Structure 1
Amino acid sequence: SRGMTQAQLAEAVGLTEGAVRHYESGIRAVKPELLESISAALGVSVNALKDYGVETAGDLMSLLVRLEDSFGIVPAADGSGLSLNPKAPHAPKAAMA
């Protein structure tokens, strides 16, 4: 979404293009310290690049419950989308996003 090629990202963080391709496809896992460099080069939060392990409907439901508990993200009353519960611990961060 940043318009960078794998080669450009590789150059920005000192990797080979093949390494970036393997990280992107999931063949290799990215070490935490490298994830910080990649996120900085892309101008995104490290959390935007993390794999949250959502592979099943149960995994998704678990993640949605955690988002509700921490950020107050809940379905809108009219079913049209999402809304925020302002009483949730991290609701202000979600509202700013």
Structure 2
Amino acid sequence: MPGQDSDAHATDHAECTETIGGKSKRKKVFRFLPSSDILLLKEIVKYTPWAAGHGETLTAWDHVASGVKEVLSTCTSDGKACHRRFNALLDAFRRDEMESL
């Protein structure tokens, strides 16, 4: 469904704004590229967030995000964003649409 794809990539296009001293300051948007997808997948294999116990999955995904941020200083994604990107990659793989990413 087209609506699901846009939800899955919401992290890629989101912008955060902060008001500092009366001026709004935008955070730089992080967009996943094939190279960052590979780093993400390596961290997912390292931390196996799907094997985390009940109530611990968000923490596991936060560890994945921290691992990606250690390698990619430009990464601003959190655990939820990494989880969404992983699900988007998995869905594309299952539909045999990896070239579209």
TM-score by length of 2: 0.23
The structure in which a higher percent of residues are helix is 2
Q: Which has the higher contact order (CA 8 A, sep 6+)?
A: 2
Instruction: Look at both structures and tell me which one has the larger radius of gyration over its CA atoms.
Output: 1
